[in-house]
A and B are shown apart, each in its own frame.
Chain A
Amino acid sequence: MSVKTVITGIGVATANGLGVDEFWAATRVGKNAIGRVTRFDASSYPARLAGEVRGFEVSEHLPSRLIPQTDRMTQLALVAADCAFEDAGVEPGNIPEFDMGVVTASTSGGFEFGQNELKKLWSQGSQYVSAYQSFAWFYAVNSGQISIRNGMKGPSGVVVSDHAGGLDAIAQARRQIRKGSKLIFSGGFDASICPWGWVAQVAGGRLSTSDEPDRAYLPFDAAANGYVPGEGGALLILEDIRTARERGAENIYGEVAGYGATFDPKPGSGREPGLRRAIAVALADAGVEAGEVDVVFADAAGSPDLDRQEADAITAVFGPSGVPVTAPKTMIGRLYSGAAPVDVVSAVLAIREGLIPPTTNVELSPEYDLDLVTGQPRTASVRTALVLARGVGGFNSAVVVRATG
């Protein structure tokens, strides 16, 4: 019997809000949440803007037992997990512990925690380093902490493939649902707005150095000149549609219907980048024709060379201006492992409301044959959405989400 993997719960934390309602209220109208870095003094760094999660008081959400052992990205993820359970109407204790797992993505790990401990190591000595440094920095720590807190002992893991990882994790979660798990958490969180994390991001060479929050991250714009990093992400609860219906799930947001992942050819080979094939594979996996896709959530790297590659891939599959394209991440910055799960959230909410959130601040360059949704949100009947994500080093992933009703 075929298994249909559906999204039944959402936890989200981005610069545009904590929780689904706050997030969507801001996202649907294109509210720009990019601003000056406030988590540390970034005035002497080449990049000074970020999409920060504001007003998050961890002690209001988590027991003190968890706070000294967790990086900010883990704290956000744990709170998002609690929200997702609540949204799904599931008490973790009501499902057998080996039938629930956690598969998340991570790009940086716990940089802020690691920075603080390294500082103690070099200024005070090794005996001052927290024992929790052993795991608090680690890529897999969000999966581990969510699993421990909620008693989820089923198949779990972490995927590390930069932005693409957010979709790769969702695909792995879908595999586990197909293999018989009842509930899998998936998604990703990164939060590296601290000096050490910032230096690592600056070294990537693609950060915007603009000081104007509404002119800094402009994918597909003639003025595109890098991206603004953000923090946060999203967690999704995935279930088989029958399991979800049997327990009377209130929210069945949409189906994870297709997935494709490819790797770019060797640089300099002159061969076509892998994104178009990833899209083709995802559509075939979903059994969807290009003409049935109602909106594409772009990776939107924000650098002219990468924007060109993405626009070419979209145009090759859908034809010139053949499908509405949007990049709500222009409001909150690029969230690394968290970016694509947040786009999947926007995609299912776009399906629910029949509204495509805009690419904020951007004016489409005439160089691209794209139907980019800019300026205002666009009302549209959305039943099938495609989410794209690329990771540094050649990762390309695509996910098709589809209405279930």
Chain B
Amino acid sequence: MSEQEFTITDLTRILLEGAGAGEGIDLGGDILDTDFEELGYESLALLETGGRIEREYGISLDDDIFTDHRTPRALVAAINGYLKELVAP
């Protein structure tokens, strides 16, 4: 199985599908280092986002994924870590 890559584009798409975007928030802008909380996503929005990532990529995320990775950049890197393990356990 070849390695998939998870990008910021994938993340913003999943965020929009599962939780939408707040008023005045442009997910297409430079959000890589902005905390999810500042982007208007509370724990439930992140739970929904995590669930959607798990479903789509066939991975199982740690319960602490969003407390350990609070920005899109950190999360994208972490998800890619999971995807790497998937092909080379």
Contacts and interface: CB of A to CB of B under 8 A. Distances in A.
Nearest to B20: A64
A127 B21 contact: no
Contact of A69 (B16, B19, B54): B19
Contact of A131 (B20, B51, B54): B51
Contacts of A68: 17-20, 48
A127 to B, nearest CB: 6
Given A127-B51, A127-B55, A65 B44 contact: no
Interface of A: 63-69, 127-128, 130-132, 134
A203 B47 CA distance: 36
Interface string B19-39: 111110100000000000000
Given A127-B54, A127-B55, A128-B55, A65 B23 contact: yes
Contacts of A134: 44
Identify whether the interface residues of B are mostly helix, strand, loop, or mixed: helix
Interface of B: 16-23, 25, 40, 44-45, 47-48, 51, 54-55
Most buried by A among B19, B25, B47: B19
B45 to A, nearest CB: 8
B22 A65 contact: yes
A265 B45 CA distance: 47
A67 B48 CA distance: 14
Given A64-B16, A68-B17, A130 B48 contact: yes
22 contacts: A63-B20, A63-B21, A63-B23, A64-B20, A64-B21, A65-B20, A65-B21, A65-B22, A65-B23, A65-B25, A66-B20, A68-B17, A68-B19, A68-B48, A69-B44, A69-B45, A127-B51, A128-B55, A130-B48, A131-B45, A131-B48, A132-B44
A128 B23 CA distance: 26
Nearest to B47: A131
A69 B16 CA distance: 12
B23 A131 contact: no
Contacts of B47: 131
B41 to A, nearest CB: 9
A128 B25 CA distance: 26
A68 B47 CA distance: 13
Kindly list the 5 A-B residue pairs having the minimum CB-CB distance in the complex, ordered from nearest: A64-B20, A131-B48, A65-B20, A131-B47, A63-B23
B27 to A, nearest CB: 10
Given A131-B47, A131-B48, A65 B55 contact: no
A270 B51 CA distance: 56
A65 B20 CA distance: 4
